[in-house]
Amino acid sequence: MTPKRSAGLLLFRRTGGDPTGFDVLLGHMGGPYYAGRDARAWSIPKGEYGPEEAAWDAARREFEEELGLAPPEGEYLELGEVTQANRKIVTIWAVEAELDPAAVRPGTFRMEWPPFSGRYEDFPEIDRAAWFPREEARGKLVAAQGAFLDRLAETLTHLAEG
């Protein structure tokens, strides 16, 4: 079975003079499974795509679907991919940008809830968005996505040196 693929955009803003000092914008996953959780219940805005769509196009589309806002302009930094515990392969690009979390208007998804009840409800893709300092973000993110924080720090360090 081919693993599912997902792509997204990680917004960051620099803090202080250290190139590795930055905040990132994360979305708290919507729906009943994450309603009472905080640790490991946040994600980089991203979503699945099929073989007919390029990862870059999917990342931009999913950003708009999940946040209800157009992707920001700027220089995008490719952070590569990671494989999450569920075997999903996630590809991320980062861009330095400001975004007011109060402006987020998330899209929705439909699922059977409660399970096996025959009732379907709509839930927000993300139920809130917030900025977090790099190290705080690590504890909130789905575990495998923490690698993108390290890659962003390395990329920003190289850019500052060169």
What are the average pLDDT values for consecutive 10-residue runs of the chain, which has 162 residues? 94 90 96 94 96 97 96 97 95 98 95 96 95 96 96 95 83
Nearest partner of 40 among 129, 119, 144, judged by Cα:
144
Query: What pLDDT, on the 0 to 100 scale, is given for residue 1?
Result: 79
Query: pTM of the entire structure?
Result: 0.94
Residue that the structure tokens 């980062």 belong to? 94
